[in-house]
């Protein structure tokens, strides 16, 4: 079987996990053809034997079968439609982009019209299969409880100096997934992912807590109907699990046995 042509949009920490996995031989069935970079650094592309691209047009000229986004919500909004129109499939990490209903519907239509697909990586949570299953069984109630260290809330509207010296947990946000992504565009992709898998961004509750001394994030997602309750709870001290979830998804896409 001919290798699938793979391109990566992003050159940060998570994108580098995907590139490093390719270098290590963990992405059999793929040929890494290009990396869309936001700087003049060539090292990653040169070491991987592919092209460093400085525009989306240059990347799409390589005719990738899959483009992995591993950068930001804004990049998803910039590249999703042209990637799908080019005939490539898109793998998305910055799921918060899809809290914008108009954008979500436009991407969905573009994919359908061009016989392409958007694959949402499980990121920092996983468990999409059981969440989707429960949601199909009846009217689902869904919510997510997120616990973060106070330092990770710096630069957000809920941060206050006292959080750094508090000795007890502080509840800093309560709302739905759409409201959460509006306030924390880079920090609650998990909430939008859980919402898309269950009750939608308007009907998925989000609560965020500041935990003194905590390193990393803990996400507890609940999807419940009468007689069935699914709970997915994942703690991670770094965001690395999100990058590795892309590697797992790509491996699954070319595997003869899919999980």
* pLDDT tens-digit map of 62-87: 999 999 999 999 999 999 999 999 99
Model confidence over 164-213: pLDDT tens digits? 999 999 999 999 999 998 888 877 888 888 899 999 999 999 999 999 99
Model confidence over 127-138: pLDDT tens digits? 888 999 999 999
Question: Tokens in use for 164?
Answer: 């750094």
CATH 3.40.50.720 placement within the chain: 4-124+241-253
What integer pLDDT is reported at residue 172 of this predicted model? Answer: 97
Domain 128-238 fold: Dihydrodipicolinate Reductase; domain 2 (3.30.360)
CATH 3.30.360.10 placement within the chain: 128-238
Distance separating alpha carbons of residues 34 and 28, to the nearest angstrom: 16
% of the chain surpassing 90 pLDDT:
83
- 3-state SS assignment for residue 210: strand
What integer pLDDT is reported at residue 74 of this predicted model? Answer: 93
- 3-state SS assignment for residue 155: coil
Distance separating alpha carbons of residues 124 and 146, to the nearest angstrom: 12
Superfamily of domain 4-124+241-253: NAD(P)-binding Rossmann-like Domain (3.40.50.720)
Residue 253 has pLDDT above 90, yes or no: yes
Distance separating alpha carbons of residues 9 and 58, to the nearest angstrom: 12
What integer pLDDT is reported at residue 126 of this predicted model? Answer: 75
Model confidence over 181-194: pLDDT tens digits? 888 887 788 888 88
Residue 37 has pLDDT above 90, yes or no: no
Distance separating alpha carbons of residues 86 and 89, to the nearest angstrom: 9
User: Average pLDDT, stretch 29-43?
Assistant: 79
Q: At what angle do helices 240-253 and 13-23 cross, to 10 degrees?
A: 40
Rounded to whole angstroms, the maximal C-alpha distance in the chain is 58
């Amino acid at each position: 079987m001919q290798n699938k042509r793979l391109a990566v949009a992003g050159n940060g920490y998570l994108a580098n996990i995907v590139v490093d996995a390719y270098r290590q031989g963990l992405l059999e069935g793929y040929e890494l053809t290009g990396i869309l970079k936001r700087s003049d650094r060539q090292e990653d592309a040169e070491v991987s034997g592919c092209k460093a691209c400085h525009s989306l047009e240059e990347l799409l000229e390589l005719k990738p079968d899959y483009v992995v986004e591993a950068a930001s919500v804004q990049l998803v909004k910039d590249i999703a439609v042209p990637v799908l129109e080019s005939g490539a499939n898109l793998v998305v990490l910055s799921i918060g982009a899809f809290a914008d209903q108009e954008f979500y519907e436009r991407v969905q239509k573009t994919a359908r019209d061009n016989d392409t697909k958007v694959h949402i990586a499980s990121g920092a949570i996983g468990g999409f299969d059981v969440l989707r299953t429960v949601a199909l069984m009846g009217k689902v109630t869904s919510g997510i409880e997120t616990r973060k260290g106070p330092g990770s809330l710096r630069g957000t509207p809920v941060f206050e100096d006292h959080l750094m010296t508090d000795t007890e947990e502080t509840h800093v946000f309560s709302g739905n997934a759409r409201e959460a992504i509006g306030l924390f565009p880079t920090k609650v992709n998990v909430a939008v992912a859980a919402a898309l898998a269950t009750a939608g961004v308007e009907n998925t509750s989000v609560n965020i807590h500041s935990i003194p001394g905590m390193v990393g994030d803990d996400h507890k997602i609940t999807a419940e109907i009468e007689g069935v309750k699914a709970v997915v709870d994942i703690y991670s001290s770094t965001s690395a699990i999100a990058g590795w979830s892309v590697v797992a998804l790509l491996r699954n896409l070319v595997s003869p046995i899919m999980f």
